[in-house]
């Protein structure tokens, strides 16, 4: 066996909010939406991994909490629900089939669908992704969808979003408040004069995706564990310019969005 590679703890990286995912829809889906009376799957849209946005309108109004979803388990695998850009919650395959939402007739209803990986055995062979059937609000089936395939990897690999300076403003800092929930991009930079292998730890974050200099490191989901860190090979780091960390948090970022670069893997006992 070859010897273990050297590891280095680069320390804390301050991340700055770039903006909600919906604000960048024209960049993430430059070819625009496909219109369909009923939902189309990832496969029908020729997108086989990642995320896709389904958009329609609230019909008839839902001024009081009204159930959204389907008991037929049509969400494959997670749907992040927003009404007029305001986060409402998550639908999840097999576990959360309905959530209550509120909205007025004509409000924009967005479902950001995440492909969490395919089941390739037993009765789930041919595992389709996205909305694989109709979904309803109350007793009304939702129709007339605009479906946006999202090319997030390609956009981040091109250098987007340009990192914003994380320097604090002069004067006393107010007590931090948690940012609004919902799918949001963050970015930050750090230097590595001598690039060495490291691990990125997003303590306090919920679930999302991480890129280093445009290279997709993978997903984080600390609550599901046991893996808490993602491996960062030295080959994706640079010595002659700042390294850019890009994070897409799908649910809720911490009040002070930071990442830690540590010199060891962190694994929890529970799953």
| pLDDT tens for each residue of 252-263 | 999 999 999 999
| Interval 28-50: pLDDT, tens | 999 999 999 999 999 999 999 99
Angstrom distances, CA of residue 45 to CA of 5, 41, 81, 138, 245: 42, 6, 20, 27, 30
271 within a domain of the structure (yes/no):
no
172 and 233 in a single domain? The answer is yes
Residue in this structure with the two tokens 């496909």, named with its chain if needed = 34
1 is a domain residue = no
User: For all residues of the chain together, what is the average pLDDT?
Assistant: 93
Q: Provide the whole-model pTM.
A: 0.93
pLDDT band at 119 (very low <50, low <70, confident <90, very high): confident
Q: Check residue 18 and give its pLDDT.
A: 96
Buried b (16+ CB within 10 A) or exposed e, 127-136: bbbbbbeebb
More confident residue, 44 or 63: 44
Is residue 268 in a domain?
Answer: no
Question: Whose CA is closest to 31, among 8, 47, 9?
Answer: 47
- Residue 206, domain CATH: 2.60.120.260
Domain that holds residue 138: 31-150
Q: End of a domain among 150, 171, 204?
A: 150
Please give the pLDDT value at position 270.
54
Final residue in a domain of this structure, among 150, 178, 196: 150
- Which of 93, 128, 150 delimits the end of a domain? 150
Domain count across the chain: 2
pLDDT tens digits along 216-237:
999 999 999 899 999 999 999 9
For 204-225, letters b (16+ CB in 10 Å) and e give ebbbbbbbbbbbbbebbbbeee
């Amino acid at each position: 066996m070859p010897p273990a590679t050297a590891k280095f703890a680069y320390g804390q990286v301050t991340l700055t909010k770039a903006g909600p995912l919906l604000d960048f829809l024209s960049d993430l889906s430059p070819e625009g939406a496909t219109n369909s009376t009923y939902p189309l799957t990832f496969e029908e849209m020729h997108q086989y991994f990642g995320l896709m946005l389904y958009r329609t309108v609230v019909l008839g109004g839902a001024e009081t909490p009204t159930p959204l979803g389907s008991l037929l388990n049509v969400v494959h695998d997670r749907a992040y629900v927003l009404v007029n850009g305001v986060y409402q919650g998550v639908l999840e395959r097999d576990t959360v089939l309905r959530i209550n939402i509120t909205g007025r007739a004509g409000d924009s209803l967005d479902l950001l669908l995440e492909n969490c990986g395919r089941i390739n055995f037993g009765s789930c062979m041919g595992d389709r992704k996205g909305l694989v059937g109709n979904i309803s609000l109350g007793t009304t089936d939702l129709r007339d969808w605009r479906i946006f395939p999202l090319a997030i990897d390609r956009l981040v690999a091109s250098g987007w979003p340009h990192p914003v300076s994380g320097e604090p403003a002069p004067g006393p800092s107010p007590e931090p408040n948690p940012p609004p929930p919902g799918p949001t991009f963050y970015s930050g930079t750090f230097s590595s004069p001598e690039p060495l292998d490291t691990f990125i730890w997003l303590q306090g974050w919920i679930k999302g995706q991480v890129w280093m200099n445009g290279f997709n490191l993978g997903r984080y989901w600390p609550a599901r564990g046991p893996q808490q860190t993602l491996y960062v090979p030295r080959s994706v780091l640079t010595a002659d310019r700042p390294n850019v960390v890009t994070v897409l948090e799908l649910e809720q970022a911490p009040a002070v969005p930071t990442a830690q670069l540590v010199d060891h893997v962190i694994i929890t006992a529970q799953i």
